[in-house]
Structure 1
Amino acid sequence: MNKSFALAGAALIAALAASPVHAQDRYAQRPPLVVSPDLTAPWVLQLGQAPGRQLARQPRVAQRPAYQPGRDNTVVDHNALRVMGQPRGRQATQPAPDRQIRTAAIQRPVQPQINPIYLPQTVAYDGPEKPGTIVIDTTKNFLYLVEAGGQARRYGVGTGKPGFEWSGTHKVTQKREWPDWRPPAEMIAREKAKGRHLPVHMAGGPENPLGARALYLGSTLYRIHGTNQPWTIGQAVSSGCIRMRNEDVMDLYERVGVGTRVIVI
């Protein structure tokens, strides 16, 4: 019987030696990979797809937006933005530097604003002048149009610079809308000596120093007029004329007529 066992053991050893056995042979046919839907659901939701829908990777195509008048239609290169250190997909909000330069070149410099005290307002008046009279205080740079009931409408004005002050009483002899400007000969000569050449005549318009309206005083060369330099209101800057903001002289123009008494103090 021992001989039978010995023969059986020898046969088994011979069979194992003829066909070696490896550990992976037990999985010669591997079972299918099964992933729980609970694990895939968060990833599906992040991709904006409903669970169970087949996900297909679509090629990314850059779409050029339709041209819209009045808007910046520059196509943004998001890869370029990423290279410059900006997050991919972020829209560029600043125009190109050369465009900024062109824009700045056509913008006019911002002028300083006048003191609000020189804006039109109604104030108390206890002087002796009758309603309808214009009183100009050249020391405080105010023009008063006397009204009834102890009141006056007050405007800020620009007055004569040092050496060009004057005082007196006159009447409005003419009224002109967008008047022409003809500088006096002495003004032309005076400015020429400073290196500034004035025109002999300038047609009325927004660039004209007399502005939108003019009230001529008596037979003098002085006027109450508008200006193309409204930031100078409240200062002694003129050659003797009384200058006002264009909107203010237009308002005064409608309130007074030829023959109005004007007192300059």
Structure 2
Amino acid sequence: MITTGELTRRSFGAMMLGTVAACSQPPVVSGPAGSTNFIDGYGPIEDSGYNLPGIPSRYLQGVNRRMSGIYNGEQGPNTLDVDPYAKFLYHVRADGTTTRYPVGVGRAGRSIRGMATIKLKRKWPGWTPTQNMLRTEPEVYGDFRGGIPGGLRSPLGARALYLFRGNRDTFYRIHGTNDLDSIGNSGSAGCIRMFNQDVIHLFDQIEVPMQVNIRSREESLRVDPENYERGVELPPKIISAEELLGPEAEALDRPPVFDES
């Protein structure tokens, strides 16, 4: 099985790059008879009454998966450090270690920059497009101006972390997604996307408030030049209102069941 492992500061980047790229078939975890095999940490999950599907291994090639090691960036402990150019998010712990997650980020000109603070975190959040999204891309978001409740249909996925500056909501989120192609690429309207398995893992590790740094181009080049400008820019994905809001989709949906303990 693939495990997070322990990496030295010097070998962290090199091992991240080489872990799977040199293998024609990455190790997998066997599921029940007749099921698909999944890479460790990315199999199906039962969560809040939902059966989340596993992530097919084709989306987890090379560095595009969760890994743990020694932090080699420029931020302090107990922070999140996001590199929109290398498409990674680092959870920096007090002992100098980190878990690195692959992320999807905003298309050119649509990403948050600088510092922010997570003041809220929510399980299975609902989603409503912002006024700016409705104004700039009505063909993508216009049909959803009324919002989508939390659940399997929500574009925010299984978890969301809400970014603030002072007491002002930036309307940017770190959140789960079902758009698997976007992880490792630039394809969102500005939010930071994660595999649902990864955002659940991160959600359970952190407490709010927590500071978040979004690396500048210069910081990305200093810290991780090997992965600078990893991925491609994707066009906006247009989903029909019928697909997400129609009677058939709604009949299959149900609200999450939260553990009250």
Same fold (TM over 0.5): yes
Q: Give 3-state SS (helix, strand or coil) of 2:144's partner.
A: coil
Q: Give 3-state SS (helix, strand or coil) of 2:137's partner.
A: helix
The amino acid that maps onto 1:255 is Q
1:131-210 to 2 correspondences below 5 Å = 131-193=77-139, 197-210=143-156
d(CA) in 2 for partners of 1:111, 1:146? 26
Report which of the two structures shows the higher radius of gyration computed on alpha carbons. Answer: 1
Structure 1 residue 196, shift from structure 2 partner: 5.9
Q: Normalization by structure 1: what TM-score?
A: 0.54
Structure 1 residue 207, shift from structure 2 partner: 1.9
1:33-182 to 2 correspondences below 5 Å = 113-182=59-128
Which residue of 1 is the match for residue 174 of structure 2?
224
Structure 1 residue 224, shift from structure 2 partner: 0.4
Structure 1 residue 206, shift from structure 2 partner: 1.4
Which residue of 1 is the match for residue 221 of structure 2?
none
Structure 1 residue 235, shift from structure 2 partner: 0.4
Structure 1 residue 252, shift from structure 2 partner: 0.5
The size of the alignment, in residue pairs, is 156
Q: Does 1:264 align with 2:214?
A: yes
Which residue of 2 is the match for residue 74 of structure 1?
none
Relative to its length, the structure with more strand (as a share) is 2
Structure 1's 195 and 180: CA in aligned 2 closer, same or farther, altered over 3 A?
closer
CA contact (8 A) 1:208 1:228 kept: no
CA contact (8 A) 1:123 1:151 kept: yes
d(CA) in 2 for partners of 1:150, 1:165? 27
d(CA) in 2 for partners of 1:195, 1:124? 40
**Sequence identity, in percent?**
38
d(CA) in 2 for partners of 1:202, 1:155? 26
Structure 1 residue 239, shift from structure 2 partner: 0.9
Q: Does 1:253 align with 2:203?
A: yes
d(CA) in 2 for partners of 1:232, 1:122? 22
d(CA) in 2 for partners of 1:230, 1:174? 25
Q: Deviations over 1:34-81 (max 9, x none)?
A: xxxxxxxxxxxxxxxxxxxxxxxxxxxxxxxxxxxxxxxxxxxxxxxx
The amino acid that maps onto 1:121 is M
Structure 2 unaligned residues grouped into runs of 5+: 1-55, 216-261
Structure 1 residue 117, shift from structure 2 partner: 1.1
Structure 1 consecutive aligned stretches of length 4 or more whose deviation exceeds 4 Å:
193-196
RMSD between aligned residues: 2.1
The amino acid that maps onto 2:209 is G
Structure 1 unaligned residues grouped into runs of 5+: 1-109
The amino acid that maps onto 2:152 is P
Q: Deviations over 1:162-213 (max 9, x none)?
A: 1213311111111111001011122123332469633421001112110000
Structure 1 residue 253, shift from structure 2 partner: 0.5
CA contact (8 A) 2:129 2:141 kept: no
The amino acid that maps onto 2:182 is T
